[in-house]
Chains A and B, each alone.
Chain A
């Protein structure tokens, strides 16, 4: 990393977390939610992807998903490991959120790597990504638990990430606006978690 550009890398990290990674998460979980309408409903909705030409899908995947997530994840791990926890001395709400953001982030790097291996890479190797595939994955109770924790980590990380995005870009400055942002982002966390967990449970 070139000298004296840390500010821009950090701002880029903050921005990419929302656009496109955060938007992608909302889109992804919403699409998964169609599984609550049954196997056929889900297969139909993800079938829309098949209509997109393969080369275009690959470009979109790399530009909108893989590269931003890779940068956000790897730079985020660097950020997480430069922090020193002091929750014993400062057990405040914000300090907890600070640590949880880092813990959930590091966990997500592991979870997402596994998730991509289990679905996207298998597809590249010839497997079909459909209702059946997920059904087989979550038939294992450990995998189901791993996925639920992964989904909750992702929804939390995004919700709290929106809160820090608002501070980091100087949108919420006052104490009261930051407080309101806390409530709004936590409601968002709960709603998105319901969508995400309901979706994974639909495969059980």
Chain B
């Protein structure tokens, strides 16, 4: 990659650096050649090619995570000018300069802009965010899903576990055990699926444990921040109703099975 376009303009950047997990942080300033249509990742790539700060000091290349580069994998999320979002779909032209990049500190920072989102993946395991179809024999076809329901559920399925809602949530942090909005909405998604719904009581009971659904404080930042426009707060409110019913069913119900 060259900077052959030669616009002469530069992009001012400030990046919060951190060498090791739990290590000291420091701000470093950079100035990279501007190219039309740049996104935050191409600016980071320019730094990687020439890891020199704005005042001419040689430094280590900035590290970050990325994968799909089209806002569907969720790996490249970071805090850009104060807002958590994907660095692939964030265009330099639409940002105020200097562009300030920070890692999503609600997660453990691995290095520079790289974070460890394990807690989200563990949460998905905890709530059984899948459709169970494995058996010792062929289970055959499952029930059909109404088309309108499928279209609606598709919106919930757009979640890419990017962590933006977790970063935006005031109740997700190291000092709180809250599972966070994304895994909760997945409970609603898989409880909607006709086959997935066969274990819906297990999912509801999973989010009725410590750090579960009830730890939501209704700040509604998640729905404002979600890059995919997933109705996270509606999911949470719908689950609130489902768990209210489940709570009574657990105690007063004649059995604890689904339906």
Contact = CB atoms under 8 A, between A and B. Distances in A.
B176 interface: yes
Given A11-B247, A89-B83, A83 B209 contact: no
Given A4-B210, A86-B168, A169-B244, A10 B237 contact: no
Nearest to B239: A170
B213 A89 contact: no
Contacts of A85: 170
A4 B250 CA distance: 14
B42 interface: no
Interface string A1-42: 001111110110000000000000000000000000000000
A170 B210 contact: no
Nearest to A80: B217
A118 interface: no
Name, among B83, B214, B215, B247, the residue most crowded by chain A CB atoms within 10 Å (CB to CB).
B214
B87 interface: no
Nearest to A12: B214
Given A84-B170, A88-B82, A92-B224, A3 B210 contact: yes
Interface stretch (A49-57, A108-116, A172-180): A172-180
B170 A95 contact: yes
Contact of B221 (A90, A170, A178): A90
Interface string B218-259: 111100110000010110111111111001000000000000
Nearest to B84: A89
B209 A90 contact: no
Contact of A168 (B218, B219, B224): B218
Interface residues of B, number: 37
A6 B209 contact: yes
A157 to B, nearest CB: 14
A73 B110 CA distance: 38
B212 A173 contact: no
Given A6-B210, A7-B213, A171-B241, A98 B218 contact: yes
Contacts of B212: 6-7
B240 A168 contact: yes
Interface of A: 3-8, 10-11, 79, 82-86, 88-90, 92, 94-95, 97-99, 101, 163-164, 167-175, 178
Given A99-B170, A170-B243, 14 more contacts: A4-B210, A10-B214, A84-B173, A86-B168, A90-B219, A90-B224, A94-B220, A95-B170, A98-B217, A101-B217, A170-B238, A170-B242, A171-B241, A173-B234
4 shortest interchain CB distances as A-B pairs? A170-B241, A10-B214, A98-B219, A170-B240
Interface of B: 82-83, 168, 170-171, 173, 175-176, 208-221, 224-225, 231, 233-234, 236-244, 247
26 contacts: A4-B209, A6-B212, A7-B209, A7-B214, A7-B243, A10-B215, A11-B247, A82-B173, A83-B217, A88-B82, A89-B82, A90-B219, A90-B224, A94-B218, A94-B220, A95-B219, A98-B217, A101-B217, A163-B218, A167-B236, A168-B214, A168-B240, A170-B241, A170-B243, A175-B234, A178-B237
